[in-house]
Amino acid sequence: MNTVLTVDAVNRSFGERQVLKDVSFTVTTGRLTGFVGANGAGKTTTMRIILGVLAADTGTVTWQGAPLNRDVRQRFGYMPEERGLYPKMSVLEQVVYLGRLHGLGAAEARRRTMALLERLELAERANDHVQKLSLGNQQRAQIAAALVHDPELLVLDEPFSGLDPLAVDNVLGVLRERAAAGAAVLFSSHQLDLVERLCDDLVIIANGTIRAAGDRAGLRDRYALPRYAIEVGADAGWLRDEAGVTLVDLDGRHAVFDLAPGADDQQVLRAALTRGPVHAFGPVRPSLAEIFREVIQ
Ligand SMILES: Nc1ncnc2c1ncn2[C@@H]1O[C@H](COP(=O)(O)OP(=O)(O)OP(=O)(O)O)[C@@H](O)[C@H]1O
């Protein structure tokens, strides 16, 4: 597994407004990288810069250490946020056409298109006009269009939004196969709770600034404070005043709290026991969505 794409100190403004501030991260072959942030955080702008649709004011994007050019970008696959298939053309014609634009011969483009549509469970719709498809199926057609030329880098803007859980699994399976075959995959989402289950690496952006980046487990270890759940016999509100305790959730006799570095969990347990029975007490593992809650709102 190699780092292939490097976004380094990219800045971009629209008029007076700076929407990307020193954005840096990397994307690795064989892995799915989720690019997560709230609406307006700067995901699409970053992706457009990677694809060369938009220029950075300062900073660089490199592929295997070299600056990007048209030839390299021909080997990328992009699913833009604004989608962009022609409503009045059949799915088959359209994906074949896009494959040919990327240099595939007619027979090869057709063969790959059919295989992809089959894999995306869209083969029965191959001859339908895009406008006749459900939104979820239009999305799968878009994904086929981004994949048909077997790109080395896949950049997908919100590929899972609007898909039902079965379709998410299907698309995820397809992306995993591409990664296993050596592609690098970068996709954006505003749903950290969904994405943390789907990807290997995460890049978290808020207000144009990268807040955290790395593999899932590493991010959890780095950013999570020790978190505990407790169930006591009466209201657990007293926890609020315990040294080193930050309440995450309080619901009557149940509470979830973080402990400051150096604070003693056993001290909290003893404090609880002086007030009455303790029915449950132990560490819990926060999800990334919980850790970065403010980033995704
Ligand atoms: N062409 C443009 N002209 C002016 N402002 C823009 C332009 N494109 C994007 N912006 C602004 O830049 C900011 C970042 O937008 P961007 O689309 O990159 O965010 P995003 O994270 O992809 O959000 P979303 O999930 O809503 O697409 C937003 O405030 C947006 O309004």
- Provide the ipTM: 0.94
In this structure, is the dihedral angle defined by the CA atoms of residues 176, 177, 181 and 183, taken in order, positive or negative? negative
Tell me what pLDDT residue 83 has: 72
196 Cα: distance to centroid of ligand 1 (angstroms): 23
Atom of ligand 1 at shortest range from CA of 47: 18
What is the pLDDT confidence band of residue 276, given thresholds at 50, 70 and 90? very high
Quick one: CATH architecture of 224-296? 2-Layer Sandwich (3.30)
Nearest CA to ligand 1 atom 10: 14
Q: CA distances (Å), 283 to each of 51, 63, 226, 256, in order?
A: 44, 42, 7, 9
Q: H or E segment at 79?
A: strand 76-79
Q: What is the pLDDT of residues 17-45, one digit of tens each?
A: 999 999 999 999 999 999 999 989 999 99
Atom of ligand 1 at shortest range from CA of 44: 22
Least confident of 114-118, 140-144, 218-222, 252-256: 218-222
Q: What is the pLDDT of residues 80-138, one digit of tens each?
A: 887 778 778 899 999 999 999 988 999 999 999 999 999 999 999 999 998 899 888 99
Strand duo 254-259 + 227-232: pairing: antiparallel
Domain ranges of the chain: 4-221, 224-296
15 Cα: distance to centroid of ligand 1 (angstroms): 12
C-alpha 245/C-alpha 239 separation (Å) is: 7
Pocket of ligand 1 (CB under 6 A): 14, 19, 37, 39-45, 81, 190
Q: Say if residue 51's pLDDT is above 70.
A: yes
C-alpha 141/C-alpha 85 separation (Å) is: 8
Quick one: CATH architecture of 4-221? 3-Layer(aba) Sandwich (3.40)
Q: Which residues of 247-262 are buried (b: 16+ CB within 10 A; e: fewer)?
A: ebeeeebebbbbbeee
* End-to-end Cα distance, the chain: 33
C-alpha 94/C-alpha 268 separation (Å) is: 63
- Which residue, among 200, 240, 230, 233, has the nearest Cα to 217 in the 3D structure? 200
For the entire predicted model, the pTM comes to: 0.86
- 74, 151 contact by CB (below 8 A): no
Atom of ligand 1 at shortest range from CA of 208: 14
Q: What is the pLDDT of residues 160-199, one digit of tens each?
A: 988 999 999 999 999 999 999 999 999 999 888 888 888 9
C-alpha 64/C-alpha 9 separation (Å) is: 17
